[in-house]
Chains A and B, each alone.
Chain A
Amino acid sequence: MERVKVMHQCGHNTKWNIISFIEDKIGDGLIISPADLEVNKVNDLPDSVKSVSYFDPQYYLPTSEKKKLNSYPFFPKTYLEGRQYSTQLSYKCRFELAKECVQYQKNNNYKYIVIPTIYEENFIDNTYDELEQLIITPFIDAISRLQCNKPVLLTAMINKNQLIIDDMNIQLLNFLTSYPEIDGIYLIPIIQRDVSQKRISDINLLFSLMKTINALKMADLEVHLGYTDVEGYLLTIAGPNSISIGAYENSRRFDIKKFGQKGRTQQPNARLYSNVLLQWIDTDYIDSLFSMFKKANELFENNEYLNLMLRTSYNWHFTKKEPYMHYFTSFSHQVYSLHNTLQERYNDIYKTLINAKQYFSEISESGVVLDAPSSGGHIDKWITALNRYATFKGVRINVQN
């Protein structure tokens, strides 16, 4: 097993990711988001950053009117000037569009060339054929024609049905592994959740996602997970090449609405990441935790950002950068500390989960009542999913007392 890399999933405040990567030296690179960074700003990034990063063309919603996306000449809406991005276009047109996108990535010397995908709510039988004709074949042709010598990632979105329904999962895996021209998958899980559920708690879903990552790795493909949150830590057991870290929640959980018209959304409460609890804690609980729970100072990694935030004068707000900078550092350290053999990594993650469970129990005993989005309802489910996968891989598992 290799060390899992941590990639910054750039979002609304890309500058925070850049500062964290360049100044704090956190993470292994950036996943550039054209929806959040105009083309001229991306061009200004240092070569040393681009060469370890990759560019996500974000064709998810080809008709998106987002200004920054459309600053890229190869974004479908810009390039096609009113024509629909579909297989009705001539192959020449689809190829030329792909060629522009690939040329751009090649010129910027990114670590990978990324083949995009479009967002599909429901996969039907001919969706794979459509994707192949519309995007994959033209892009593979363009990469070959331009003699790109960079490894190639294919973007793949994976929904709940494709994970848990066997036939659909097999179909997806057969599809993703049928292109010898690619080197890896940029895998984006699309998992719908209730608004109150911050963590994925579906054991079957988590286990299926781990198996899918494993199946792709066994097919000699790199797997780079995008739009992951704390779940990325658990998923490292399946050996992905990288997981992502993002600032705002819409860079830690894929939402197609990000690429559509900006609607009015409720402002979220500020949250602070606890590496011990494997959870984002609503900052409105910080005072009660430090008042009632003796070990509160053990819950959050003690880095430079924490000291600043715990000053009484600090004004918590979800738009402040410190909670995210703290999380980038804290979470990355947690991932980098994992061992690189399957048994040892299992032991590491298991130990962290048991520890989290114990801390949540002690918090409850102290009298602090956390609401569902801040609580540890996911921990037992994660332990089960971890053990299920470990058993599947023949790893010696631990049993909870």
Chain B
Amino acid sequence: MAAQGPHTPGYASPEQLKNEKRFISYKSDIYCLGIVLAELILGVNPFNPSIVGMGLSCNDNILNNSFCLRTPNITISDNAQEIISKMLRYHPYERYRKVSLLIKDLEVFIYGKS
């Protein structure tokens, strides 16, 4: 496996795990925030093998872009899933380009307006 940059296991973006320094940016933080947000709702890391299946580690699931936004007891709403999924896109270019755009989507989700 290629050298990994500094990271917190299970909460790092793919580019951090692959140590692609050029692409480690605020978007990596958005990715991490997405993991935390999902975990707050589900009670478990969305990359955790216990919900993803396949028997790989969290980090491997991150590198394979395999996550799950439901547990046997909890389901995240479609709207919330859309937001979190966008935060957890594999490639940085596919995630929220600006924090303000994430805030806007969250405001619409929470308050029904921006």
Contacts and interface: CB of A to CB of B under 8 A. Distances in A.
A adjacent to B, CB under 8 Å: yes
Contacts of A175: 22
Interface in A139-194: 170-171, 173-178, 180
A128 interface: yes
B97 A173 contact: no
A236 to B, nearest CB: 22
B93 interface: yes
B94 to A, nearest CB: 7
A176 B97 CA distance: 10
Contacts of B91: 170, 173-174
Interface string A18-43: 00000000000000000000000000
B92 interface: yes
Contact of B93 (A128, A129, A177, A180): A177
A215 B99 CA distance: 18
A129 B22 contact: yes
Contacts of A173: 91, 93
A174 B98 contact: no
A219 B93 CA distance: 7
Interface centre among B27, B93, B97, B101 (most CB of A within 10 A): B93
A178 B25 contact: yes
A124 interface: no
Nearest to B86: A218
Nearest to B97: A219
Interface in A177-231: 177-178, 180, 215, 218-221
A176 B98 contact: no
A178 B92 contact: yes
Given A129-B22, A174-B23, A178-B25, A220 B101 contact: yes
Contact of B94 (A171, A180, A218, A221): A218
- Chain A interface size range: 10 to 19
B98 A220 contact: yes
A215 B97 CA distance: 12
B22 A177 contact: no
Interface centre among A175, A215, A219 (most CB of B within 10 A): A219
Contacts of B93: 170, 173-174, 176-178, 215, 219
A30 B22 CA distance: 35
A54 to B, nearest CB: 21
Contact of A221 (B22, B97, B100): B97
B92 A180 contact: no
Nearest to B25: A178
Contacts of B100: 180
Interface in B40-54: none
A176 B101 CA distance: 17
Nearest to A173: B93
Interface in B1-56: 22-23, 25-27
A177 B23 contact: no
A176 B94 CA distance: 11
A64 to B, nearest CB: 30
Contacts of B97: 177, 180, 219-221
A366 to B, nearest CB: 49
Interface centre among A129, A178, A215 (most CB of B within 10 A): A178
B89 to A, nearest CB: 10
A177 B92 CA distance: 8
A183 to B, nearest CB: 10
Given A177-B92, A180-B100, A219-B94, 9 more contacts: A129-B22, A170-B93, A174-B23, A174-B91, A176-B93, A177-B97, A178-B92, A180-B26, A219-B93
9 contacts: A128-B22, A170-B93, A173-B93, A176-B93, A180-B97, A215-B94, A219-B97, A220-B98, A220-B101
Nearest 4 A-B pairs (CB), nearest first? Answer: A173-B93, A180-B98, A177-B93, A219-B97
